[in-house]
A and B are shown apart, each in its own frame.
Chain A
């Protein structure tokens, strides 16, 4: 018994130490964001700088980064893309799962194959086609459209599995006998039953799109349209020597997500696992 107790003490000690190491970078950024530049350079390990605890870094970072505009763009793009992805991929997955038509099978196979293609293979043709031929860059709607195209296969794949395994066919047959049309059956019976998968897809897509940098940076060249990651990059380039300011900007970037994580931790972890294991 004694030996077991000792073992669990060691286990806790190891885990706590590891967790501290994992959290340490965030902690360093956080404490230094409240210091003057000179204090950051002189002693980054100190909890509070010599000139005290200051908030001016944040005020300036918000202004110079045009933080709220970028936040608005990020919210608009991530929000509307995610919403549309859920609707169109759930609908497509439903018809693919229920009908044995050629078109359904073909589309299904193509989507599964596409999961293996990395973004780097598509970025040059995308810029060539949408920039060079159609002149459609620099619109938020173009970015949203591309987010749809990239995310639809993974989401469709998850919904397809859920329809096949969790929605009883008898329910739909009964509704059809009662005179329900296909669309009514889908929106009133199937979609509500897909709720757990909707949560998973919302989480996976929101995290991916919110943090995406490369695609948005290729599409949105106009500073009024910048999303948060692009704004951070530009800001970093211009102010990389003003450490306090930079760190405040980084805190502004990570704080909203960490706050959300505090409340939705359980769903986020479950959603990510469901997405990864099935994918």
Chain B
């Protein structure tokens, strides 16, 4: 039936319905994306009128940029630890609040609360906790490792970033695990009980395999979010002390908007994106393959 509609009518209908969305999407995502690829081939400083074409120089220059690799290594370390803790905690919480106990909605809502607030404000809140509240409590109770601010020590500042990320995202991922747990057919669990499964066994052999797709989603979301962390990094540590917690997203930002190396900054952004995409695609691929086996 569609084939009989005249082309003009079809075009009008498409433009009328999808026109505004296509227009915004093209101008904000597609064209800047293509223009961004072009920028990686120039040595533009963001101000001058001429953008000198340098070919793949920016890409080869990345290999010599030690600071970029340091920030990338730090990002991978931060993401790996955060992702593990986020998901272990999120699954634990989800498991505890789906047994049909009284008040479980209250607990769910409580654990989710940090996700209502943006990373920037969360970082400021925790800056106060780490640099004031914990120090004061540490001095009062005479606990050595609390009595100086964590944010002034490179290793502890990274730990602080991880703690805040775990605190924030675990409540979010918990909701996804809850959705997964609720969708496990009751008969399956009952059959397990009849076959003599204990709680631990039904967790190991029934619940965990059934949750494979929830794990894939949560790992994907937590990896991509941790990898691109900027707001929290900015407000909690601002890359400090002494630049020791400057993660890749912040490095890219400063390369472009502080050092005015637009071409190099954009190239590093693209490389960061490709690495993150490769890791998350590999994760989804491995996860899906497990699904078939289970």
Residues of A at the B interface (CB closer than 8 Å) are: 8, 11-12, 14-15, 18-19, 22-26, 28-29, 32, 40-41, 43-45, 88-89, 91-92, 94-96, 99-101, 103-104, 107, 110-111, 114, 116-129, 132, 145-146, 148-150, 152-153, 156, 182-183, 186, 207, 210-214, 218, 229, 232-233, 236, 243, 246-247, 250, 253-254, 257-258, 261, 265-266, 268-269, 272-273, 276-277
Contacts and interface: CB of A to CB of B under 8 A. Distances in A.
A105 B257 CA distance: 37
Nearest to A211: B118
Interface string B87-113: 000000100110101000101111111
A24 B230 CA distance: 24
B129 interface: yes
A121 B27 CA distance: 15
A266 B39 CA distance: 45
B32 interface: yes
A115 to B, nearest CB: 10
Given A152-B24, A243-B128, A246-B124, A120 B269 contact: yes
Contacts of B212: none
Contacts, number: 245
Given A129-B35, A213-B118, A183 B273 contact: no
Nearest to A233: B120
- DSSP majority for the B interface? helix
Interface stretch (B59-67, B130-138, B286-294): B130-138
The size class of the interface chain B forms with chain A is: 35 or more
A101 B14 contact: yes
B136 A276 contact: no
Q: Which of B118, B167, B175, B231 gathers the greatest number of chain A CB atoms within 10 Å?
A: B118
Interface string B16-52: 1110111011011111110110010000101000000
B16 to A, nearest CB: 7
Interface string B183-222: 0000000000000000000000000000000000100010
Contacts of B147: none
B175 A232 contact: no
Contacts of B265: 124
Interface string B124-156: 111011001100110010000000000000000
Contacts of A26: 113, 125
B109 A214 contact: no
Q: Which of B22, B32, B115, B234 gathers the greatest number of chain A CB atoms within 10 Å?
A: B32
